Structure 1
Amino acid sequence: MDFTQFCHSDEGKGERIKTDVRRGWPGCGPRAGIPGCHWFIGTSGTLPREERRAFEDRAAAHARAEVRRRGWWPATLPYWLDDDLAILAEKQALTHAARAQAAINSGATS
């Protein structure tokens, strides 16, 4: 049996108010007396707020990247701006690295 459940990030929400689904992440849900990581991260109070938010940001970014990689992103749902900026920065860094390597390979100096 699968115990994965969708977890909404806690930042910016209140009782019965959910955050944007693009800020969610997959977590393990409750089963047979085990509360699961969804409870541990969001409800237990074990993680300090800043640590919890940092985890949720990383987990949500990873989930968004995986959904995009698999081609599952809904056509009508805009991408998350921070993801697009990170992808652009990574492409620019790779382009710069490729140009630098080409210059080294050709014996050119900068």
Structure 2
Amino acid sequence: MRRKPLNPGKGFKSRGSWAGAGLRDERDESHHCELYQAGSRDRRLAERAARQIESALATASLVPGNVTMAPGAGTTGIVVMKEHAIESEPYRRLVAELPCFWCGISGYSQHAHLNYGKGLGLKTDDRTGFPLCCSRPGIEGCHVAYDNYRLLESGGRQAHREYGIEAARFTREQILKAGLWPKKLPLWA
């Protein structure tokens, strides 16, 4: 369908002509920017960058030898796997049937991956997963808390990684002991 172009002077109005856009008054507290907010934003961005660098340095030693960096969009490159991580839907479903590893509730579990080794084009092995419960109305699930590093009260990211490694090991043992390990899935080395 062909549409008629906008006539000059019609269309979107500039913000300056909106009611109260440039005017300050005591009743309108939400539509202005205080001077201290600019510095606060810069501080928050610097803190966020420092956390991301700390996380990248902490996980750099955990990257397997079969990963290489290839030049790509941006300055960081794109992660390219030489071999893929093993993905197994039957194993993920088995893990999801177990009760939550943290709170023990049954019927709400999801397969939770470890929080390292993930990224653009890089997946973690499904055999390193463990059961954590999902969010429900009015309740934040353990899976969300784990992914946001809030499940454990102290220790930060490193404590969460160690917890995930131990939980994955225990989950693999339970599935093996029950004799439910999928036949086509190789055992964890």
Same fold? TM cut 0.5:
yes
* Aligned mates of 1:16, 1:78 — CA distance in 2: 22
2:168 matched to 1:60? yes
Over the aligned positions, Cα root-mean-square deviation in angstroms equals 1.9
Q: Percent identity?
A: 38
Within-5 A mapping of 1:89-104? none
TM-score, normalised by the number of residues in structure 2 = 0.39
Q: For residues 12-32 of structure 1, what are the alpha-carbon distances to aligned partners after superposition, in whole Å with 9 as ceiling and x for unaligned? A: 002685411100000111001
Matched, 1:5 2:110: yes
> Which of the residues 130, 134, 138 maps onto 1:25?
130
Q: Give deviations 1:1-60, integer Å, cap 9, x for gaps.
A: 8211111111100268541110000011100121211111112x3351110110000110
> Comparing both chains, which one has the higher relative contact order based on Cα–Cα distances under 8 Å and sequence gaps of 6 or more?
1
| Alignment-mate amino acid for residue 77 of structure 1 | L
CA distance in 1, matches of 2:145, 2:123: 18
CA distance in 1, matches of 2:162, 2:130: 13
In structure 2, distance between residues paired with 1:16 and 1:36: 27
The equivalent of 1:36 in structure 2 is: 141
Higher helix share: 1
What does the per-residue CA deviation read over 1:56-106, in whole Å, with 9 as the maximum and x for residues that have no partner? Answer: 00110011001100111112211111xxxxxxxxxxxxxxxxxxxxxxxxx
Which has more radius of gyration? Answer: 2
Match of 1:70 in 2: 178
Structure 2: which 5+ runs fail to align?
1-105
Question: Would the alpha carbon gap of residues 26 and 50 (structure 1) be closer, same or farther in structure 2, given more than 3 Å must change?
Answer: same
SS of the residue corresponding to residue 124 of structure 2 reads coil
What SS does the corresponding residue of 2:132 show, helix, strand or coil? Answer: strand
Match of 1:72, SS? coil
Alignment: residue pair count: 80
SS at match of 2:185: coil
